[in-house]
């Protein structure tokens, strides 16, 4: 008799034994070295660890899957061009454990739902294709041939191609992403939700509207040469650790740094370069010169307040603060913008941002004194109802100072996953431009669908309503990465079929559809051998640099296929008749040069793709704003008007933001410690201002329930532990994915549809009479 199946999709509500210390004020250094080595030695074979370390982020080597921060063009350290969390990412992927049929025979899906995300990730690599058996609630091995046959059969049985959705993770290479979107569009839909929908979509929309390109304008050299860098809503010490080396170089060149963040993160404060013995002895480099500990979603208020102060100075002494020559030649909308800025109430900006006027004036003074200004940001700005407006307000500030399109100045959205930007360049987009579709149609001689498809939140809604019946994920962990965890789990389980291309187990695999198949793929570290020989792939980093990645380790299982091979074999199984003739899938699989030739033919900027990437291992894509060429309808850089956000929390409510720990990359949990914040062996915590704790009569380590209520839907996250922390009053911070269950799927940023994961209104309820956890 089959065991009772669980229908709970949330991360388990378990405690693991919390320990706390004071937060750290310095990053990397010897503790970083020890942590990196510990993870490598624990989870990898020693010889393989050494082999990958010295190929990581080197020319012609392995691109680290841990983040999208750029590599130096030439000056790369032979001691290791990687960081602590890069080593964790490699150790996670190149695990010495491999799962085959015996493991899945022993453990049901319902049982695995009780595993923590950390335990799931450490089980090992998936070593064989798997098919879910509804009757037994177990995954069982399936041959590749039968897997493709079942998937193709399900796809071809759909009444409408729009009943299918095809998700993409940011780890997918350019080559795999390009042929994946081609497969999807030949199938007949633009339903291509991706991880960018959930993170930097607001950046892409805001930058496209104002500057004509949804990417940042700066290079790594610009970071080094900047006179002033403003870092907003970003924690580089954990999420982009190699950025700290670039910030250190800026400081050594005389630059200043302003950090804008609700938390005083260690990675914003000080950096000790682990590759520099002198720095290890001296204690490192102080990074932040001015910390503005803004209230959650107080960024527009802060920026507007700063610009109001700058405007007053400009009006008192015209031409000394604003770059009049730049404004007249390159911008539009200035007069309307200034008219609205003059109406701004500075005291209201101070109140809503939480930043004292004196500090706001200091920031404005530094901005007025320097010409080479860069603003960097991440999801602390994009995951709000007004995420697009946050990005546009940054552009307004830079335009006033003429700090776009010159050395040492510009926009710098810092993306997370290693090829999330490249996937979008390759056409992974639910709303493709006519220009892209025309080029695709011309090269392949077919008519791609023109109607825009489903973004991530649309896909969740359509699955919930029964309109998306087939869901395929090219990597990633859709259930844990998205908002409204329990709802996504039910929505996935309601599909006729779910398909996941994966290296390791994750929580999305534990919400199988009526049929579900897991297709195990090669990791970034592994050699990719095809009919024509060993292959390499390419990715695009945060600054628009295309570079190669080539694995060095043998595949952990003979049953693995590359992402490219999986897409090609699926296309061969799915298409017949005229559709089968549109692309030569066998050629694409045998030799990835043919894919790059097609990318070159379809997408501007990839001229001589194969030649350039083979000769130098990297090249820069064209970037209009970098050259003061703005591909907007009017050909100008556009000012925009962005009102102060109205985020109303009642007296007993809080604004919650979700954050990563230092032992985490996106939804991948490397360990249970958040070393820089001084929290160990526990993830179900809520960081709260001590004054708020006193007001609610909460003690350190009390057990509480967090509750959100949107559109009459009550969502809860239980068994969270209170931790007193330096965070603005009325604000709290929790870790994702544990708190994602509180984020409503149908509340998102205007225009970009990015979930509001950084500004969720919640209340606190006490757990029934329990002593504080010791």
CB distance 470 to 164 below 8 Å: yes
Q: How far apart are CA 451 and CA 448, in angstroms?
A: 9
Helix ranges (DSSP H) in 472-562: 478-481, 485-493
Tell the burial category of 259 from Cβ atoms under 10 Å away from its Cβ (0-12, 13-18, 19+).
buried
Residue 739 dihedral angles phi and psi, to the nearest 5°: -95, 5
CB distance 390 to 413 below 8 Å: no
Q: 442's torsion region: left (phi>0), alpha (psi -120 to 50) or beta?
A: alpha
pLDDT bin (cut points 50, 70, 90) of residue 275 is confident
pLDDT tens readout for residues 147-201: 999 999 999 999 999 999 999 998 899 999 999 999 999 999 999 999 999 999 9
Q: Determine the 3-state secondary structure of 519 from DSSP.
A: strand
Residue carrying structure tokens 């630059």: 255
CB distance 271 to 241 below 8 Å: no
Q: How far apart are CA 297 and CA 107, in angstroms?
A: 44
| 67 has a pLDDT exceeding 90 | no
pLDDT tens readout for residues 345-365: 999 999 999 999 999 999 999
Q: What is the pLDDT of residue 5?
A: 52
| 767 has a pLDDT exceeding 90 | no
pLDDT tens readout for residues 85-114: 888 888 889 998 999 999 999 999 999 999
| 758 has a pLDDT exceeding 50 | yes
Q: What is the pLDDT of residue 376?
A: 98
> What angle (nearest 5°) sits at the alpha carbon of residue 644, between those of residues 295 and 317?
100
Q: How far apart are CA 587 and CA 532, in angstroms?
A: 10
pLDDT bin (cut points 50, 70, 90) of residue 603 is very high
Q: How far apart are CA 302 and CA 60, in angstroms?
A: 43
Question: CA end-to-end span of the chain, whole Å?
Answer: 42
> Out of 1-5, 451-455, 580-584, which region has the weakest mean confidence (pLDDT)?
1-5
Q: How far apart are CA 659 and CA 676, in angstroms?
A: 13
Q: Determine the 3-state secondary structure of 568 from DSSP.
A: helix
Strand partners, 707: 716, 763
Contacts of 614 (CB under 8 A, 6+ apart): none
pLDDT bin (cut points 50, 70, 90) of residue 6 is low
Number of H helices, E strands in the chain: 31, 33
Mean pLDDT of 52-60: 87
- Inter-residue long-range contacts of 315-322, CB under 8 Å, 24+ positions, other chains counted: 321/368, 321/400, 321/401, 322/400, 322/401, 322/402
| 769 has a pLDDT exceeding 70 | no
pLDDT tens readout for residues 448-462: 999 999 999 999 999
Q: What is the pLDDT of residue 56?
A: 87
pLDDT bin (cut points 50, 70, 90) of residue 402 is very high
| 1 has a pLDDT exceeding 60 | no
Examine residue 737 and say whether the peptide bond preceding it is cis (omega within 30 degrees of 0). yes
pLDDT bin (cut points 50, 70, 90) of residue 508 is very high
| 770 has a pLDDT exceeding 80 | no
Q: What is the pLDDT of residue 597?
A: 98
pLDDT tens readout for residues 421-472: 999 999 999 999 999 999 999 999 999 999 999 999 999 999 999 999 999 9
Sign of the CA dihedral running 464, 465, 469, 473: negative
CB distance 181 to 428 below 8 Å: yes
Find how far residue 585's CA is from the centre of its chain: 30
Residue carrying structure tokens 């991530």: 456
Q: What is the pLDDT of residue 73?
A: 87
Q: What is the pLDDT of residue 7?
A: 62
Q: What is the pLDDT of residue 84?
A: 86
| 4 has a pLDDT exceeding 50 | no
Q: What is the dihedral of CA 39, 40, 44, 48, to 10 degrees?
A: 170
pLDDT bin (cut points 50, 70, 90) of residue 81 is confident
| 771 has a pLDDT exceeding 90 | no
Nearest to 136 by CA among 637, 405, 414, 516: 516
Q: What is the pLDDT of residue 2?
A: 42
pLDDT bin (cut points 50, 70, 90) of residue 79 is low
Average pLDDT over all residues of the chain: 94
> Out of 18-22, 47-51, 284-288, which region has the weakest mean confidence (pLDDT)?
47-51
pLDDT tens readout for residues 618-656: 999 999 999 999 999 999 999 999 999 998 899 899 999
């Amino acid at each position: 008799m089959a065991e009772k199946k669980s229908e709970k999709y949330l991360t388990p509500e378990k405690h693991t034994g919390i320990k706390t210390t004071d937060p750290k004020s310095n990053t990397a250094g010897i503790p970083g070295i020890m942590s990196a080595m510990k993870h490598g030695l624990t989870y990898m074979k020693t010889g393989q660890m050494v082999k990958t370390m010295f190929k990581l982020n080197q020319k012609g080597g392995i691109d680290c899957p841990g983040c999208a921060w750029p590599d130096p063009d030439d000056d790369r350290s032979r001691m290791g061009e990687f960081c602590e969390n890069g080593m964790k990412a490699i150790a996670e992927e190149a695990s010495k454990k491999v799962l085959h049929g015996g493991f899945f025979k022993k453990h049901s899906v319902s049982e695995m739902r009780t595993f923590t995300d950390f335990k799931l990730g450490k089980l090992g690599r998936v070593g064989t294709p798997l098919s879910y058996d509804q009757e037994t609630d177990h995954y069982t091995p399936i041959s590749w041939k039968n897997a493709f046959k079942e998937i193709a059969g399900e796809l071809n049985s759909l009444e409408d191609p729009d009943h299918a959705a095809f998700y993409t993770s940011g780890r997918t290479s350019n080559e795999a992403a390009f042929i994946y979107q081609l497969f999807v569009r030949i199938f007949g839909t633009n339903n291509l939700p991706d991880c960018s929908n959930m993170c930097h979509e607001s950046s892409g929309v805001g930058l496209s509207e104002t500057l004509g390109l949804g990417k940042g304008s700066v290079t790594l050299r610009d970071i080094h040469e900047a006179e002033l860098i403003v870092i907003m809503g970003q924690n580089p010490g954990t999420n982009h650790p190699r950025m700290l080396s670039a910030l250190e170089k800026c400081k050594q060149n005389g630059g200043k740094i302003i950090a804008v963040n609700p938390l005083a993160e260690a990675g914003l404060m000080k950096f000790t370069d682990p590759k520099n013995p002198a720095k290890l002895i001296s204690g490192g480099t102080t990074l932040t010169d001015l910390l503005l500990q803004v209230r959650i979603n107080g960024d527009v208020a802060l920026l507007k307040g700063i610009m109001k102060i700058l405007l007053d100075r400009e009006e008192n002494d015209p031409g000394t603060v604003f770059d009049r020559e730049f404004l007249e030649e390159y911008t539009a909308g200035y007069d309307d913008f200034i008219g609205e800025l003059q109406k701004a109430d500075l005291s209201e900006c101070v109140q809503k941002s939480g930043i004292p006027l004196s500090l706001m004036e200091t920031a404005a003074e530094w901005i007025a004194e320097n010409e080479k200004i860069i603003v960097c940001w991440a999801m602390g700005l994009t995951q709000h109802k007004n995420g697009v407006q946050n990005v546009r307000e940054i552009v307004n500030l830079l335009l006033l100072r003429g700090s776009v399109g010159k050395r040492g100045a510009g926009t710098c959205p810092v993306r997370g996953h290693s090829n999330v930007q490249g996937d979008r360049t390759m056409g992974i987009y639910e709303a493709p431009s006519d220009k892209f579709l025309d080029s695709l149609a011309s090269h392949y001689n077919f008519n791609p669908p023109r109607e825009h498809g489903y973004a991530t939140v649309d896909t969740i809604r359509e699955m919930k309503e029964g309109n998306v019946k087939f869901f395929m994920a090219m990597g990633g962990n859709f259930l844990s990465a998205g908002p409204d965890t329990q709802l996504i789990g039910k929505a996935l389980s309601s599909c006729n079929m779910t398909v996941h291309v994966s290296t390791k187990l994750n929580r999305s695999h534990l919400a199988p559809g009526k049929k579900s198949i897991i297709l195990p793929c090669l990791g970034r570290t592994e050699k990719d051998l095809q009919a024509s020989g060993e292959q390499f792939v390419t990715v695009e980093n945060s600054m628009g640099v295309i570079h190669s990645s080539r694995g060095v380790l043998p595949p952990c299982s003979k049953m693995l296929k590359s992402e490219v091979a999986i897409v090609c074999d699926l296309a061969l199984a799915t298409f017949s008749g005229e559709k089968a003739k549109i692309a030569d899938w066998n050629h694409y699989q045998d030799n990835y040069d043919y894919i790059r030739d097609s990318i070159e033919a379809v997408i501007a900027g990839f001229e001589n793709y194969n030649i350039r990437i083979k000769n130098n291992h990297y090249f820069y894509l064209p970037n209009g704003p970098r050259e003061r060429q703005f591909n907007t309808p009017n050909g100008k850089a556009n000012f925009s008007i962005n009102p102060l956000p109205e985020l109303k929390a009642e007296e007993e409510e809080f604004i919650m933001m979700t954050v990563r720990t230092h032992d985490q990359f996106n939804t991948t949990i490397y360990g249970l410690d958040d070393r820089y914040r001084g929290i160990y062996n526990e993830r179900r915590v809520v960081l709260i201002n001590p004054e708020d704790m006193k007001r609610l009569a909460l003690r350190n380590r009390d057990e509480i329930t967090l509750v959100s209520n949107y559109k009459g839907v009550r969502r809860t996250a239980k068994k969270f532990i209170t931790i007193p922390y330096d965070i603005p009053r009325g604000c709290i911070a929790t870790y994702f994915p544990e708190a994602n269950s509180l984020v409503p799927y149908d509340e998102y940023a205007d225009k970009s549809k990015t979930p509001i994961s950084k500004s969720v209104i919640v209340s606190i309820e006490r757990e029934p009479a329990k002593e504080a956890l010791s």
